Amino acid sequence: MKNRLLSIVGAGGLAVALSAAATMNDARAAEFKWAFSGDAQTLDPYGLSEIYTTGFQGNFYESLVRRGRNLGIEPALAESWERDGDTVWRFKLRAGVTFHNGNPFNADDVIFSFQRARGETSDVKAKIRSIAELKKVDDLTVEITTNGPSPTLLNEIADWYIMDQEWSVENGAEEAADVRKGSENYATRNANGTGPFMVVSREPDVRTVFEPNPNWWDKREHNVDKAIFTPIKSDATRVAALLSGEVDMIYPVPLQDAGRVDSSDQTKMLQGEEMRIIFFGFDQNRDELLYSNVKGKNPFKDRRVREAVYLSIDENAIADRIMEGAAKPTGSYIAPQVEGYDPSMEERPAYDLKRAKQLLTEAGYPDGFEVTLDCPNDRYVKDEDICVATATMLARVGIKTRVNAMTKTKYFGKVLDRDTSMYMMGWVPPTYDAHNVLYDFLGTKAEGGQGKWNMGDYSNPKLDALQQKIAMTVDADERRALIKEALRLAADDIAMIPLHQQTLAWGVRENVEVNQRADNVFELKTTKIK
C-alpha cells in the first residue's frame, strides 16, 4: 500500500499531497474534474451556513480576511487592519480589486454585504454577531465596532464573503434566498465574486463549470484553465470515475474502497484527521415527543433517558467495524485542532447495557419506547450505516428505533425546522474556536443566530452565561478555563452524544497536487496537474 497518512499541524492543520513523480510544469494549463457525494445547495453566500457549501463558494467569493494553507488568518480583500482600543477595528481595503463582471470593489460593497448578511432571510448572522456597527471611512477603508472585546472577530469573518452591491441590486438579489424554505433568487444559481475562479455555468445536482479569474488580485498558484465539478452520490460510481480517469479527484472515498484506490498505479489516497465530530442529538423541548408511541410526555427531557442512550451505543464497535478504523471515538465536543480543546474531555462513559436498562426503568420506561432517528445518507462517512447500527444497539434496551434516512438536501431542511425527535449531526466549528460550538450548537435558541444548529433545543442558562463571557474574554488562560467549564456542563447534561472524530479520505490521480485541509474544504486555487 502506498497510502499517504497525512499529519495535521497546529490549530488548523495542513496536509499537502505531492506527487512522487517528476517536477510539475506550472506553466502548462490543464482541465481539472472533481466529484463530491453531493452538491452545494446554493451559490448565494448568505443562503446556507454549512461548511461544504461555504467551502465550495470560497472558490469564487472572498472575505476581508481568509485562511491560508496552514489555516491561519491572512489578509484577503482587506490588505491590513489595526485596532483602536478594545472594540474598534479599522480595515484598509485592497485597491484595484474588481468583481468578475468588472465592477470595482470598494467600501460600499462591504457595507451592503453587512446589511444583507444580517437580513431576515440570511443564514450567516452568526458570522457577524460580534459587529455592532460597520461604517465607511472612505472608499478603501471601513471601521468595525464590536459589541465588546472580541477575541474571535477575525475567525468569524474569515468566510463572511463580500458581494457586489450593484450586481445584487440589478438582479433583484438584495436579500438572501432562504434555502430551507426552497426560496430562490438570481444569486442562488449565479455568482459574481472577486475570487480566483468564476462560475461559467451551473446545473444544480448535475454540473458546475469554472474558469480562472484573469483579473484576480493575488498570485496564481494553480495551473487549471477549466474546472468541472460533478456531484456523484453513488459511492461505486464515484470511485469508478476516479479509477477510469473520468475525474481527477473524489471525496469522500468510501472506506471499503480506500485500498483499491491506493493500490492503483494511477491513483492515491490522501488521509488525515478531520476537525469534524459526529454527534447524536435529541428533542429536549417539546412536551410530547414526535414520531413516537409515547403520548403526553417527552422521554428525552429526562437526563436518565439520554444517559441510557449514551450507555447503549458501542462506539468502539462503530469505529472498528463500520468506520473500519477510520474514526477516533471521543467524548469531546471539539477536535484537538480547535481552540479550547482539553484532552481530559475525551473520555467516554463505558458501554453498559445493564446500567442503561436500570436508568430507563428509573425514568419510567422499563419496556423502552419507540422513536425515529433522522439521518442523512450522503453527508458524513457511513452516516446511514451508523444510524442503522445504533438502532440495533438501542433495541437491546427496548428503545425501538426507526431510521429515517434521506439526502442531505432534505435532511437539513427537516432538522433545522426542528421537525425531529433524534438526529445525527457532524460539526466543524467554522471559527476553529470552541465558542462557536457553545454559541451555534449548544446555545439556547435566540434572535441573532444563537442556537441555530441546536436542533434539539437544549438549554442551560449557566452555559449561555459562560458563552457570553467567553466571547469577550481576551486573556487566553482565563478563556480556556471558561471554555472547559462550559463544555463540562454540556457533557454532564448529556446535551448531545459525541461519537467520533472522522478521518479525511480523498482520492486523487497520481498527477494531481492538492492541499488537504483539516476542515475538509477543497480549494481550486492550490490545485496543480502535471
For residue 9, tell me if it sits in a domain.
Answer: no
417-463: per-residue pLDDT in tens? 999 999 999 999 989 999 999 999 999 999 878 998 999 999 999 99
Judge if 302 and 201 occupy the same domain. no
Judge if 356 and 305 occupy the same domain. yes
Judge if 219 and 358 occupy the same domain. no
pLDDT tops 70 at residue 143: yes
Cα gap 387→420, rounded to integer Å: 14
Q: Residue 182 — pLDDT band, cuts 50, 70, 90? A: confident
Judge if 234 and 97 occupy the same domain. yes
> Which pLDDT score, from 0 to 100, does residue 13 have?
37
pLDDT tops 90 at residue 198: yes
> Which pLDDT score, from 0 to 100, does residue 117 have?
97
pLDDT tops 80 at residue 402: yes
7-40: per-residue pLDDT in tens? 333 333 333 333 333 333 444 558 999 999 989 9
Judge if 261 and 326 occupy the same domain. no
> With b meaning 16 or more CB within 10 Å and e meaning fewer, what string describes 28-59?
eebebbbbbbbbbbbbbbbbbbbbbbbbbbbb
- Backbone φ, ψ for residue 54 (5° rounding): -65, -45
327-360: per-residue pLDDT in tens? 999 999 999 999 999 999 999 999 999 999 999 9
Q: Residue 524 — pLDDT band, cuts 50, 70, 90? A: very high
pLDDT tops 70 at residue 4: no
Q: CATH number of the domain that 190 lies in?
A: 3.40.190.10
- Domain holding 170, by residue range, is 31-266+510-529
- What count of other Cβ atoms lies within 10 Å of the Cβ of residue 377? 19
Q: CA angle at residue 487 from 481 to 488, to 5 degrees? A: 90
Judge if 460 and 325 occupy the same domain. yes
Cα–Cα distances (Å) from 104 to 44, 95, 164, 191, 214, in that order, read 20, 9, 9, 15, 15
Judge if 389 and 301 occupy the same domain. yes
42-86: per-residue pLDDT in tens? 999 999 988 899 999 999 999 999 999 888 999 999 999 999 999
For residue 255, tell me if it sits in a domain.
Answer: yes
For residue 1, tell me if it sits in a domain.
Answer: no
pLDDT tops 60 at residue 361: yes
**Could you write out the DSSP letters of every residue in 18-64?**
--SSSPP-TTS-EEEEEEESS--S-S-TTT---HHHHHHHTTT---S
Number of domains composing the chain: 2
Cα gap 40→368, rounded to integer Å: 39
Cα gap 168→111, rounded to integer Å: 13
Judge if 257 and 379 occupy the same domain. no
Q: CA angle at residue 388 from 348 to 271, to 5 degrees? A: 65
Cell numbers for 400, please give them: 425501538
Judge if 251 and 319 occupy the same domain. no
> Which pLDDT score, from 0 to 100, does residue 29 have?
59
Judge if 181 and 313 occupy the same domain. no
Cα–Cα distances (Å) from 88 to 145, 280, 469, 474, in that order, read 5, 39, 19, 15
> Which pLDDT score, from 0 to 100, does residue 22 have?
34
For residue 22, tell me if it sits in a domain.
Answer: no
Q: CATH number of the domain that 279 lies in?
A: 3.10.105.10
For residue 281, tell me if it sits in a domain.
Answer: yes
Look up residue 16 and give its amino acid: V
> Which pLDDT score, from 0 to 100, does residue 28 have?
53
For residue 24, tell me if it sits in a domain.
Answer: no
CA atoms lying within 13 Å on the CB side of residue 378: 19
For residue 8, tell me if it sits in a domain.
Answer: no
Cα gap 391→372, rounded to integer Å: 9
For residue 5, tell me if it sits in a domain.
Answer: no
Mean pLDDT of 464-487: 96
Helix axes 383-395, 303-312, angle to 10 degrees: 110
> Which pLDDT score, from 0 to 100, does residue 403 have?
98
Q: Residue 530 — pLDDT band, cuts 50, 70, 90? A: confident
Nearest of 161, 196, 194 to residue 176 by alpha carbon: 161
Find all residues with CB under 8 Å of 486, minimum gap 6, and list them.
434, 438, 463, 466, 467, 470
Q: Taking the mean position of all CA atoms in its chain, how far away is CA 444?
A: 20
260-294: per-residue pLDDT in tens? 999 999 999 999 989 999 999 999 999 999 999 99
Judge if 48 and 174 occupy the same domain. yes
Residue 496 DSSP label: S
Judge if 216 and 321 occupy the same domain. no
